[in-house]
């Protein structure tokens, strides 16, 4: 009899270990934009503190995150661009979480501090090749950008009207890599999510307007794009994922979103 009870106890402990016995609730899986790292991590930590539900984040880029939702490999995709018509036609739905500025960044030692949209476009398409042409030193301009499929790249090229025309020296796979590369090269120029910009680089004003929460909110800083939550239109989220979705799109999350350096859409 004692042996039977012991075996039952072991079995129950194994079940508890596998299910968490209510202690560890189902995790929420997010996948996509590297630019959304700071805001999603902050929201995930706050949500877990409130609910005990873990939120995982796989920084693969906007295109990969959208595909992950399409294939059912994550609960919520993260895109730093609007969904395309064909993606919507494939049953995906986008909900704007926040708006983010795309900062134009240079090495801190670069004397150039302001460029307008037209000049930025001429630099990235190779029409302007030397910093002295825009008031800088006599040095080659080194063009740094993101890889194809990046939401940041899509946003930058759409706003500057340079799709398929940019003469990149390097196409990097994350916002962090762009910032690190520009920081280490005096002749480099790049673009990155404002929320991720550090003091290792200098963010230029664009047409005299500095990127900030205020200028993004009032629209005066023109190089900006949405942060989008991507879900399957005709499929229900899990209970945990729906709770997370509702939480981050509520006004209660606005302070956390703002503290991450982006402007809440709500």
pLDDT at position 195 is: 87
Which helix (H) or strand (E) is 243 found in, with range?
A: helix 239-248
Q: Is residue 147 domain-shared with residue 244, that is, in the same domain?
A: no
SS3 state of residue 217 = helix
Least trusted range by pLDDT, from 194-198, 202-206, 223-227, 249-253: 194-198
Q: Is residue 42 domain-shared with residue 107, that is, in the same domain?
A: no
Q: Is residue 94 domain-shared with residue 107, that is, in the same domain?
A: no
Q: Is residue 185 domain-shared with residue 124, that is, in the same domain?
A: yes
pLDDT at position 14 is: 41
Map tokens 């956390």 to a residue.
256
Q: Is residue 94 domain-shared with residue 185, that is, in the same domain?
A: no
Domain that holds residue 122: 100-224
Q: List strand residue ranges (DSSP E) for the chain, in order.
A: 28-32, 55-59, 76-79, 92-106, 114-115, 142-146, 170-172, 188-193, 202-203, 205-206, 224-232, 263-264
pLDDT band at residue 261, thresholds of 50, 70 and 90? confident
Mean pLDDT, the chain, rounded, equals: 91
Q: Is residue 179 domain-shared with residue 65, that is, in the same domain?
A: no
Q: Is residue 173 domain-shared with residue 240, that is, in the same domain?
A: no
Each residue of 137-168: pLDDT tens digit?
999 999 999 999 899 999 999 999 999 999 99
Maximum separation of any 2 CA atoms in the chain, in Å: 90
pLDDT at position 25 is: 57
Task: Evaluate whether 207 touches 222 at the Cβ level (below 8 Å).
Answer: yes
Total Cβ atoms within 10 A of residue 215: 19
Q: Is residue 212 domain-shared with residue 236, that is, in the same domain?
A: no
Taking the C-alpha atoms of 227, 232, 238 and 239 in order, what is their torsion angle to the nearest 10 degrees? Answer: 60
In the predicted structure, residue 5 carries a pLDDT above the cut 50? no
Choose among 98, 115, 266: nearest CA to 193: 98
pLDDT at position 145 is: 98
Q: Is residue 136 domain-shared with residue 216, that is, in the same domain?
A: yes
Least trusted range by pLDDT, from 2-16, 180-194, 200-214, 218-232: 2-16
Find the distance separating the first CA and the last CA of the chain, reported in whole Å. Answer: 61
Each residue of 37-88: pLDDT tens digit?
999 999 999 999 999 999 999 999 999 999 999 999 999 999 999 999 999 9
Q: Which alpha helices (H) appear in 125-161, and where do they start and end?
A: 151-160
Q: Is residue 166 domain-shared with residue 155, that is, in the same domain?
A: yes
**What is the C-alpha to C-alpha distance for residues 189 and 195, in angstroms, rounded to an integer?**
18
**Beta-strand pair 188-193/92-106:** antiparallel
Number of domain units in the chain: 2
In the predicted structure, residue 3 carries a pLDDT above the cut 70? no
CATH of the domain at 197: 3.40.190.10
């Amino acid at each position: 009899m004692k042996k039977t009870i012991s075996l039952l106890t072991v079995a129950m402990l194994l079940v508890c270990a596998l299910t968490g016995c209510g202690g560890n609730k189902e995790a929420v899986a997010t996948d996509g934009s590297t630019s959304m790292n700071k805001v999603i991590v902050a929201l995930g930590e706050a949500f877990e503190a409130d609910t005990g539900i873990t939120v995982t984040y796989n920084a693969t880029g906007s295109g990969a995150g959208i595909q992950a939702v399409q294939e059912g490999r994550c609960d919520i995709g993260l895109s730093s661009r609007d969904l395309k018509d064909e993606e919507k036609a494939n049953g995906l739905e986008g909900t704007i979480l926040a708006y983010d500025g795309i900062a134009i960044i240079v090495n801190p030692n670069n004397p150039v501090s302001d460029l307008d949209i037209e000049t930025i476009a001429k630099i990235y398409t190779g029409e302007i090749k030397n910093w002295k042409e825009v008031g800088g030193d006599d040095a080659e301009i080194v063009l740094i950008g993101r890889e194809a499929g990046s939401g940041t790249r899509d946003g930058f090229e759409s706003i500057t009207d340079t799709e398929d025309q940019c003469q990149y020296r390097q196409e990097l796979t994350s916002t962090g890599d762009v910032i690190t590369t520009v920081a280490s090269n005096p002749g480099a120029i790049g673009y990155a999510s404002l929320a991720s910009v550090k003091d290792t680089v200098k963010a230029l004003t664009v047409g005299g307007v500095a990127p900030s929460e205020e200028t993004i909110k009032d629209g005066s800083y023109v190089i900006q794009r949405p942060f989008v939550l991507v879900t399957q239109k005709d499929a229900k989220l899990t209970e945990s994922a729906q709770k997370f979705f509702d939480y981050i799109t509520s006004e209660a999350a606005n302070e956390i979103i703002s503290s991450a350096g982006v402007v809440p859409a709500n």
